[in-house]
Amino acid sequence: MAPELWYPITEATSRGGGFHSPFGGTWPDLGDARRWCDGMQQIGVLSHDDAQRFHFWIEHGYVSLPNAVSHAAIDALNEAVERMWREPDSVADVYAETYDGVLRVERLRSDIRDAPHKVLDLHTQLAAAEPVVFAQPIVHFLQRLFLRPPMAFQSLYFTVGTKQHMHQDTAYVPVNSPLEFAGVWIALEDVQPGTGELQYFDGSHRIPEYLFEGQYLSKRSDDPNDEAFLRFVYERSVEAGCELVKFLPKKGDALIWHASLVHGGSQEVRDGSTRRSIVTHFCPRDVMPGYFRDGMPHSAITTAAGGAAYRCNWRHDA
């Protein structure tokens, strides 16, 4: 007799494959992301180490990559930045954002160095930034996160800690697919306690979403009021039991985080201390940063890292 091929279905057959958010996301944001992760390892898209990192990402909302960037590349970048400060006229397209009570974006000047600041978009302005921003372990992870080429669309070079309030990047970094981007933080020196070190709420990428005007993940650039948002993400992270972690990396270590991970800068900053680092926001090549959407005429996309990734920037003098 032929074997019985029929069997009763006693459980729901849905695998819950939808995104956690109505705004979508990357594949680890799917309800059955762990099954995707295991399947991609089985067919060779992910290595064993890749799969371990993505299982961690799914639960925690970030991964750390020790020794992601060589010290030689970091030293070259830091030296190029020092030359830039000595001769700001040699880098006419470089801008800094200062935040000494009032946010301003200004062309680089020597006197800005003594004010709280971050230098903008060095990934498009300094050749020495490319081996750092597009270091192979970083690009490797982002390719597998996006499943297509990553594109750097914004970078921020810090010398000191910012004391920035705990926040989600989705509020301030608009892209046309709101959750298809990630932040990358690279330590350009050993980070010590009391230097305004980066901190984050572990697992906070899964707290309820705050909607600006009841419908958007990002706030209008002309709206200065974000107090309700900042209070919301902090309180929801605490209520969810998310551990507050301070990141104390060694020079060359990188942290990559989910667009919705709640993070900021420690309020403890010793006088004279430094926390040299560079943050870059990446999205897939086919996703549109907000300044493209808003019609900036001098935005440009170029290849980087030997064609493995792309970079784009908004020319601030446009």
The DSSP call for residue 251 is: T
Boundaries of every domain in the chain: 27-313
| Predicted local distance difference test score (pLDDT) of residue 221 | 78
Residues 290-313, mean pLDDT to the nearest whole number:
78
pLDDT band with cut points at 50, 70 and 90 for residue 83: very high
User: What are residue 46's phi and psi, to 5 degrees?
Assistant: -115, 140
Three-point CA angle 108, 121, 280, nearest 5°: 140
pLDDT band with cut points at 50, 70 and 90 for residue 313: confident
Quote the distance between the C-alpha of residue 117 and its chain's center. 19
Residues 98-124, mean pLDDT to the nearest whole number:
85
The H or E element spanning position 73 is: helix 71-86
Taking 3-state DSSP, the helix, strand and coil percentages for the chain, each rounded to the nearest 5, stand at 30, 25, 45
Q: Which long-range contacts (CB under 8 A, 24 or more apart) does 227-234 make?
A: 229/167, 229/171, 230/165, 230/166, 230/167, 233/166, 233/167, 233/168, 233/204, 233/207, 233/262, 234/165, 234/166, 234/262
Residues 244-249, mean pLDDT to the nearest whole number:
98
Mind listing the pLDDT tens digit for each residue in 181-197?
999 999 999 999 999 99
Q: Which long-range contacts (CB under 8 A, 24 or more apart) does 86-92 make?
A: 86/110, 91/125, 91/126
High-pLDDT (> 90) share of the chain, %: 74
What is the pairing mode between strands 263-265 and 198-201? Answer: antiparallel
User: How far is Cα 106 from Cα 277, in angstroms, rounded to an integer?
Assistant: 20
Q: Is the pLDDT of residue 1 over 80?
A: no
Q: Is the pLDDT of residue 291 over 90?
A: no
Residues 194-217, mean pLDDT to the nearest whole number:
96
Q: Is the pLDDT of residue 3 over 70?
A: no
Q: What is the dihedral of CA 24, 25, 31, 37, to 10 degrees?
A: 150
Strands (DSSP E) contained in 55-213 are 62-65, 95-99, 103-107, 117-120, 150-158, 182-187, 198-201
pLDDT band with cut points at 50, 70 and 90 for residue 214: very high
Q: What is the 3-state secondary structure (H, E, C) of 104-117?
A: EEEECCHHHHHCCE
| Predicted local distance difference test score (pLDDT) of residue 295 | 55
| pLDDT, the chain, mean | 90
Alpha carbon separation from 53 to 48, 61, 81, 141, 303 (Å, rounded):
9, 10, 32, 9, 27
What is the pairing mode between strands 300-304 and 103-107? Answer: unpaired
User: How far is Cα 99 from Cα 116, in angstroms, rounded to an integer?
Assistant: 6
High-pLDDT (> 70) share of the chain, %: 90
**What homologous superfamily does CATH list for 27-313?**
q2cbj1_9rhob like domain (2.60.120.620)
Mind listing the pLDDT tens digit for each residue in 254-265?
999 999 999 999
User: How far is Cα 279 from Cα 130, in angstroms, rounded to an integer?
Assistant: 13
Mind listing the pLDDT tens digit for each residue in 64-80?
999 999 999 999 999 99
| Predicted local distance difference test score (pLDDT) of residue 132 | 98
Q: Is the pLDDT of residue 13 over 90?
A: no
